[in-house]
Amino acid sequence: MEYRVLGHTGLKVSSFVLGTGTFGYWGNNTQKDCAPILDEALAGGINLIDTADVYSNGQAEEILGELLKGRRQDVILATKGGMPMGGGQNQSGNSKFWIKQAVENSLRRLQTDYIDLYQLHQPDLNTDIEETLDILADLVREGKIRYIGTSNFQAWQVAEAQWTSERRNVARFVSEQSPYSILNRSIEFDLLAATAKYGIGVLVWSPLSGGLLTGKYRYGEAVSADSRAATFAGSLQSIVDPNREENRSKFEAIAKLQTLADEAGLTLPHLAMAFTQAHSSITSAIVGARTIGQLRETLKGNDIRLSNDILDAIDAIVPPGVTLDAMEKGWTPGWLQADKRRILR
């Protein structure tokens, strides 16, 4: 396993991160089912574990809290907050009111005194970044958080947050978590330039494009009954919908990528994961696995590095900065909503 420094923190993190979105009823419902996956990840050299309060409505954090007893000090534990966690008007967002509660709730579920990396799950357009940084800085001073990060931020929001931290002389964000894969290269357009400018580490999620780059899905064919696309409602079920033109484009690209992987003597998933390791601004890629077999297979490719010729061939299939399907961007900015961009008369 390769270890890289997270931004300018000096903190060394594994180039693969264990994502726990499948811990709990979203995937593996019991602690017994999740334990082998965590054990395999740690044995494979992964030292950064990523979770979120919203994963299985807190169950993922609770399971991790139990599984990390006696070895909490051996891992870098990251969680996220800000997504809705109840029906209350103030049980979401990045306000002082909610972030304070969300952090305390995560600490309780994780059974720990501190969170190594606390990340805002997404921007909150109703809350000034100064408000959020104030409470995060307080929590850092209290020792409840060691580092702070963001997720799904746009390049201008990254810059605004850095300027605010400098002006207010408070803790600054040291990481950004964004979706990134061969099929979704939108962060190359300007976000990665911004994170490089400010020395921010980048953790990327969905490097296998929601499972498309495993090669197990076929355009227009019914998905396997035990696949995530079959068990999750919403966008995951749309990835093989033959009525979506975006899917046709993606599967045409996947066929070309499969040929490229075959010629290079690689599996398609290994090619896809190695692609995320090639960009100089990427620190780590988050691996989500429902089974120990899936994780083992992914970890086999952790030391693969692609040649410039292969990277050029990938660029010819999906050019830099291009995303073949807007749905894969993971978060739709609130300013694209009709009531935000139209003046009704």
Q: In whole angstroms, how far apart are CA 286 and each of 35, 51, 153, 241, 307? A: 18, 10, 17, 26, 22
Alpha helices in 25-91 (DSSP H): 31-43, 59-67
3-state per-residue secondary structure call for 167-197: HHCCCCEEEEEEECECCECHHHCCHHHHHHH
Which amino acid, residue 300?
K
> 94 and 128 in contact (C-beta within 8 Å)?
no
3-state secondary structure of 147: strand
Please give the Cα distance from 110 to 177 (Å, whole number): 21
Please give the Cα distance from 93 to 99 (Å, whole number): 8
Please give the Cα distance from 322 to 84 (Å, whole number): 30
Nearest alpha carbon to residue 278 among 312, 314, 302, 305: 305
CA–centroid distance for 264 within its chain = 28
Active-site hit among 55, 118, 180, 217: 55
What single-letter DSSP state applies at residue 154? Answer: -
Element housing 285 (H / E): strand 284-288
Residues 6+ apart with CB under 8 A from 328: 179, 181, 183, 184, 206, 209, 210
Which amino acid, residue 147?
Y
- Is 114 annotated as catalytic? no
Phi-psi region of 34 (alpha: psi -120 to 50; beta: other; left: phi over 0): alpha
Please give the Cα distance from 215 to 217 (Å, whole number): 6
Write out the catalytic residue numbers: 55
